[in-house]
Amino acid sequence: MLKPIFVALIALTLASPALAQTGDRTERLLAELADAPGPPGFEEDVRRIVVREVKPLADSVTYDGLGSVIAKQGASGPKIMLDAHMDELGGVVRRVTGTGFLSMQMLGGWLDQALPDQRWIIIGSKGPVRAVTGIRDIHVVPAEERTRVFPRDSLYLDVGAKNAAEVAALGIGAGDPVVPDAPFAALANGRYLGKAWDDRVGVAVVIEALRRLKASGHPNQLYVAATVQEEVGLRGARTAADLIKPDIGIAIEGGITGDSPGRNPEETQAVLGGGPGIFLYDSSAIPNRKMVALVADTARAAGIPLQRDLVQGYGDDSAAIQATAGGVPTVNLVVPARYTHAHNGVIDRGDFDGMVDLVVALIKRLDTTTVAGLRDFTP
């Protein structure tokens, strides 16, 4: 019988130094969220953390049919959907070979060069099992192949088993979820290393914003949606929006920085530590122009630096939200992150705190009159 996935989280917590570290409440929340396993379709552990955090802050907590969490705060005014997705890049076991290796179906937009010689955790029926994707030894690789990127279908997970029976004895098999093994760590200068900042950093933002808005109040019905399966097609955002029928949608995401060496300046202009960002364009969505102006004005009034960016090859939940309920004005706000869609990313605490400040100030401005103006397209 399959054990609850929370057993895996307990084991991961015991094995990881993240939650044993000192730090304030926000740092501890970021660490717990980053370390939690949750590839698309397997968000149980992340959902458990989210529900624990939002229940004391919300008037009600409900779920859509895919498992997204919807926490409502406020009984009157326009409906504001504040979104962040719980899932991360990962995979599922595809098959087990006779010699005890496992092939993997990737979930989400992985680069092939990010996959070899990495540590992974497979969540099986008996708890987590550590694995590594192998890499060929340089001693036997021909010189002409040493700079080649090997395709993902040539990679196998090695759990140390000698045959398929030993793999089965570990409690793992086809269909089991796989996540990066990359524990949270606090770096110098208020920067945090960890996996899954896309989009656990957004999940932490919406939780902290909900906490502050509980104390200060706001003029609307705020729906915080922690959604599922964003990395495989923005699915949870659509189903959650179908239930909420929002007047306004705000997605909070992990952004992309261009400040590390060797980057093309046309890829992205955001820098770590430069403040929260706003996407003026990505491959999935063009934001509402009035929303963009309101965000910029809110940031300026609050003295929050705002980074503007346009990124190709990027999709986010605002695209799914804006195409529901007859059309919803939306915007995508981002916490800059280095090295997304890989095992190890880096974020800046100042950028995170600035985003929480911005979201709280923005929600407070979204009263009935302001929202009506944002939704008015009369020539």
Domain extent at residue 138: 103-180
- Which residues does the annotation mark as catalytic? 230
Same domain, yes or no: 191 and 223: yes
Same domain, yes or no: 107 and 243: no
Query: Which one is predicted more confidently, 14 or 70?
Result: 70
Same domain, yes or no: 302 and 220: yes
Cis peptide leading into 112, omega within 30 of 0?
Answer: no
Same domain, yes or no: 273 and 154: no
Domain contains 93: no
Domain contains 62: yes
- Across 155-174, average pLDDT: 97
Query: Average per-residue pLDDT in the chain?
Result: 92
Same domain, yes or no: 277 and 196: yes
Which of these three, 158, 180, 202, is where a domain ends? Answer: 180
Q: Is 231 annotated as a binding residue?
A: yes
Q: Is 85 annotated as a binding residue?
A: yes
d(CA 264, CA 69): 38
Same domain, yes or no: 194 and 314: yes
Q: Is 198 annotated as a binding residue?
A: yes
| pLDDT of 260 | 86
CB 38, CB 203: distance < 8 Å:
no
CATH code of the domain covering residue 124: 2.40.30.40
Same domain, yes or no: 145 and 48: no
Domain count for the chain: 2
- Across 82-89, average pLDDT: 98
Same domain, yes or no: 204 and 110: no
Burial of 262 per CB tally in 10 Å (0-12, 13-18, 19+): exposed
Same domain, yes or no: 166 and 247: no
Which of these three, 141, 162, 180, is where a domain ends? Answer: 180
**CA angle, corner 250, sides to 32 and 277, nearest 5?**
75
Domain contains 97: no
Which of these three, 180, 210, 234, is where a domain ends? Answer: 180
Residue 165 CB partners (closer than 8 Å, separation 6+): none
d(CA 48, CA 46): 5
d(CA 207, CA 213): 10
Domain contains 94: no
Query: Which one is predicted more confidently, 20 or 267?
Result: 267
Domain contains 43: yes
Global pTM reads 0.92
Same domain, yes or no: 59 and 123: no
Same domain, yes or no: 337 and 192: yes
CATH code of the domain covering residue 277: 3.40.630.10
Domain contains 95: no
Domain contains 234: yes
Does the pLDDT value for residue 171 go beyond 50? yes
- For residue 263, name the pLDDT band (cuts at 50, 70, 90): confident
Q: Is 43 annotated as a binding residue?
A: no
Same domain, yes or no: 308 and 196: yes
Tens of pLDDT along 199-235? 999 999 999 999 999 999 999 999 999 999 999 999 9
- Across 107-126, average pLDDT: 93
d(CA 327, CA 285): 12
| pLDDT of 22 | 65
Percent of the chain with pLDDT over 90: 81
Q: Is 139 annotated as a binding residue?
A: no
Query: Which one is predicted more confidently, 39 or 260?
Result: 39
Does the pLDDT value for residue 323 go beyond 90? yes
Does the pLDDT value for residue 4 go beyond 60? no
Half-sphere exposure of 152 (CA within 13 A, CB side): 15
Domain contains 82: yes
